[in-house]
Homo-oligomer: A and B are copies of this chain.
Amino acid sequence: MTFHDRLDSAARQIDALLRTAVRGDLPVHDAMRHALTGGKRLRGFLVIEGAALHGVADATVAAAAIEALHAYSLVHDDLPCMDDDDLRRGQPTVHVRWDEATAVLAGDALQTLAFDLLSDPACHDDPAVRCVLVSTLARAAGAGGMVLGQALDIAAETAGRPLTLNEVEALQAAKTGALIEWSGAAGAVLAEADPAPLTAYARALGGAFQIADDILDAEGCEDRAGKRLGKDAAAGKATFVSLLGMDAARQRAADLTDAACAALDGYGARAETLRDCARFVLTRDR
């Protein structure tokens, strides 16, 4: 199977699980299902492929958990008091389709769902492994991880000066890097193997991913991306593109992609799908 076949296959597994994970027929349940629909499932794919590299055949539950957590972060990020976005994955955002209260609650319950899934015996037989997954995800998502990055982003808006390259790196490492790193490492954790190589891979991949996101924001197609673009430039935000220029940003993303691939050397040819994934991240248009 090619990389795209495997990505599609992972997405189908994850979607099938998530479709059954939310029961109930109140607006909040519809909103949760809406927020769980679509997306590239890149984080879940990393979990499933990293697990497969270590001989773990089924990592769908952990993959669904990181996608639930990612969905929560998008729903809250899109709120009027945050990024105020009306379009996500080609669909109206939750607070536009329903209302702000439903968006707050749906995001809250999607975060809870992530920990529900990880702590479930269906995720892994060994509760010690489940606990490590819960604990590491909590660290990656909380006030020292993703929320820290979001708070730094807010602080930057009122700082009165654009961020430096070092500051943008620290912000992005927290805001999007921590969850991507968790996703990379999770497969090794599920196999009770050393997560260091996959962590190094995912860290470099996350860096390339964010630069690619900045390039997409600067010159991508809104229809294709399924979300509003050009917002960073309009807001005068420092990005890798504004700080480095387009050419140097592309070069840096390419270097990070090479570093991501090199981190997988120990796995040999078996890791080729993850190397293809790094190359995809570099060239993605959504």
Contact = CB atoms under 8 A, between A and B. Distances in A.
Given A76-B104, A81-B100, A108-B111, A24 B135 contact: no
B102 A82 contact: no
Most buried by B among A27, A115, A120, A141: A115
A32 interface: yes
A147 interface: yes
A152 interface: yes
A216 interface: no
Quick one: copies of this chain in the complex?
2
Contacts of A135: 116, 119-120
Interface residues of A, number: 50
A259 interface: no
Interface in A118-155: 118-120, 126-128, 130-131, 134-135, 138-139, 141-144, 147-148, 150-152, 154-155
B141 A112 contact: yes
Contacts of A81: 99-101, 104
A72 B105 CA distance: 12
Contact of A24 (B99, B131, B144, B150): B144
B112 A32 contact: no
B143 A28 contact: yes
B79 A104 contact: yes
A24 B26 CA distance: 38
A139 B115 CA distance: 10
Contact of A27 (B72, B79, B99, B151): B151
A191 B85 CA distance: 47
A271 interface: no
A147 B115 contact: no
Interface in A67-85: 72, 76, 79, 81-82
A151 B76 CA distance: 17
Interface of A: 22-24, 26-29, 32, 72, 76, 79, 81-82, 99-102, 104-105, 107-109, 111-113, 115-116, 118-120, 126-128, 130-131, 134-135, 138-139, 141-144, 147-148, 150-152, 154-155
